[in-house]
Amino acid sequence: MSYEKYESPLTSRYASPEMSKLFSAATRFYTWRKLWLNLAIAEKELGLPGITEEAIQEMKEHLTLTPADFETAALEEKKRRHDVMAHVHAFGLVAPKAASIIHLGATSCFVTDNGDLIILRDGLDLIIEKLVRVIDRLVKFAEEYKNLPTLGFTHFQPAQLTTVGKRTTLWIQELLWDLRNISRARNDLGFRGVKGTTGTQASFMTLLEGDHEKVEALDRRVTELSGFNQTYPVTGQTYSRKIDIDVLNTLSSFGATAHKIATDIRLLANLKEIEEPFEKDQIGSSAMAYKRNPMRCERVCSLARHLTILSQDALMTNSVQWLERTLDDSANRRISLPEAFLTADILLSTMQNISEGLVVYPKVISRRIAQELPFMATENIIMAIVKKGGDRQKCHEEIRVLSHQAARQVKEEGGENDLIERIKKTEYFKPIWEELDNILDPKTFIGRAPQQVDRFLVDYVRPVLAPYKEILKIEKHVTLNV
């Protein structure tokens, strides 16, 4: 690490080793060399002269760059001001028998664009695996707490009861949509293939002596060797930057989900109902030693804001790609694409860590319910009196007066909600005094929340997770950097 120049905290502080490696120079230029190898193999299979088995073998033996290769390429790029040709030169030095046929017929975008598509595909695979793990962890949490009543909130004001597990299904549902969107973007990815300088394949028509079928076969074969089952039928010099929109939109949309979930947990932490994991020696505040700040969820919110805006880069870049291409996409994409994947990766690692260690405080939840439930139970109390022969309007007035008195006790005196004690001391309500405990049982106020959790997990979540059961069998837990 150099302490004298800026390094992105995405890689130096937060991102996983696998995602950092995927967007590294080592992976990028290895991918270029693999593409040049695939092109040479396909051209040799189609009968192009001058491509020997020895040349192919040398290329295979030098796919991984050494420090010397990087130094050679850097010096060459400084001189030629062209990164692709610098790496063609560096590859040719270590594979001299192939030097004359490396990059044969190709334009720079053969390696840069096809290489990007390979990295995007592999990056989405990593994201999908991590997203599945987060969903799986939250499923377990929802199952465990599907029956635990908790105060619902609308407008962050007390509302009807729900359960801790039911609330969690709201998070899971959004993550399922993210999984659908990201999987769709991954499966829709095609390959640029061998399309030539402006997408017309003119150079390959020359190499293959005007044989259209062989040019198409070359395109298919390189696509196959590179691990894709489809190629974009038409391109300019680059693949359409609208593809980047499809990818970044799904990641940005996930960023919005992550922010919502982390915000919910932060609000619940303030209420002391649910907290993110807090390590034994963790310090919450340098001044206030008692604090347990929700720093993981705050990190999620902070980075999610960055992720959600990166889709704007892709939208703007695509809109200004003139005709067959311009180069004003290059510098932007070098930043926005890696940052989107690294940020999504960090969010998922953090969310997995949070979901594996969520702490629930049932007694705090129960106390808050007790403070609000008497007001919510007034309609049930009125109905119970009517069943005993009472007059609804008379009962409504009696309970209205007591409710206002209890509210004043809470708001003006800072006391507890004593509505039920007032009802128990009011002779009018004597016919239902013995029923009050049953009327105030929180489980009678949660509707079908537990059943909804069960149905949702069985009918909607488990079928989606089923294809990933082998991934989920491998236990992976996340330890976060500070």
Phi and psi at 157, nearest 5°, equal -115, 145
Q: Are 137 and 130 spatial neighbours (Cβ–Cβ below 8 Å)?
A: no
Q: Which amino acid is at 1?
A: M
Counting every residue written for the chain, the total comes to 482
Of 205, 185, 187, 188, the closest CA to residue 196 belongs to: 205
Q: Is the dihedral of CA 120, 125, 128, 130 positive or negative?
A: negative
Separation of alpha carbons 429 and 384, rounded Å: 10
Distance between first and last Cα of the chain = 17
Cα–Cα distance for residue pair 86/66, rounded to 1 Å: 15
Q: 150 - beta bridge partners?
A: 162
For helices 108-144 and 330-355, what crossing angle results, to 10°? 20
* Exposure of 352 in the CB half-sphere (CA atoms within 13 A): 22
CA 371 → CA 175, 211, 283, 301, 418, distances in Å? Answer: 33, 81, 32, 31, 8
Contacts of 435 by beta carbon, 8 Å cutoff, 6+ apart:
384
CA-based R_g, the chain, Å = 31
For 264, the token pair is 């919910």
Tokens of 426: 């009011």
Asked whether 320 and 311 are in contact (CB, 8 A), the reply is no
| DSSP conformational letter for 478 | -
Both tokens of 209, joined, read 């002596």
In angstroms, rounded to a whole number, what is the distance separating the alpha carbons of residues 168 and 351?
13
Q: Could you identify the residue written with the tokens 């010397």?
A: 68
Tokens (6 digits) for 81: 């001001």
Please count the CA atoms within 13 angstroms of the CA of 19 that sit on its side-chain side: 29
- Read off φ and ψ for residue 149, nearest 5 degrees: -65, 145
Cβ–Cβ under 8 Å, residues 257 and 175? yes
Q: Which residue out of 100, 285, 319, 330 is catalytically annotated?
A: 285
* Residue 285: active-site member: yes
Distance CA 351, CA 347 (A): 6
Is 62 annotated in the active site?
Answer: no
Position of tokens 């050494």? 66
Residues marked as catalytic: 155, 285
